Amino acid sequence: MSLEDRITFQISFPFWSAYLATLQIILRAPLHLAVSAVFPAWAIYLIYLWLWTTSHYPVDVGDVAIAIGCFFFTPLVTALSLFLARRRNPLAKGPFTYTFDSDGIHVSGDTFEMKLKWPAIRKVRESGSFIFFFTAPARAQCIPLAQVRATGQLDDLRALVARYVENVPARAG
Q: Under DSSP, is residue 150 helix (H, G, I), strand (E, B) or coil? A: helix
pLDDT for the residue numbered 88: 86
Say what the pTM is. Answer: 0.74
pLDDT for the residue numbered 58: 75
pLDDT for the residue numbered 56: 65
Whole-angstrom Cα distance, residue 79 to residue 77?
5
Domain definitions of the chain by residue range:
3-13+94-164, 25-88
List, run by run, the mean pLDDT of 10-residue segments along the chain (173 residues).
73 88 85 86 84 71 87 91 86 85 90 90 89 86 91 90 77 48
pLDDT for the residue numbered 172: 47
pLDDT for the residue numbered 115: 93
Whole-angstrom Cα distance, residue 48 to residue 143?
41
**Can you say whether the dihedral through the CA atoms of 68, 74, 77, 80 is positive or negative?**
negative
58 half-sphere exposure, CB direction, 13 A CA radius = 1
pLDDT for the residue numbered 169: 62
Beta bridge partners of 7: 100
Q: Under DSSP, is residue 151 helix (H, G, I), strand (E, B) or coil? A: helix
Write down the CATH number for the domain with range 3-13+94-164.
Answer: 2.30.29.30
pLDDT for the residue numbered 45: 86
Element (H, E) at 133: strand 130-136
Nearest to 93 by CA among 43, 19, 166, 26: 19
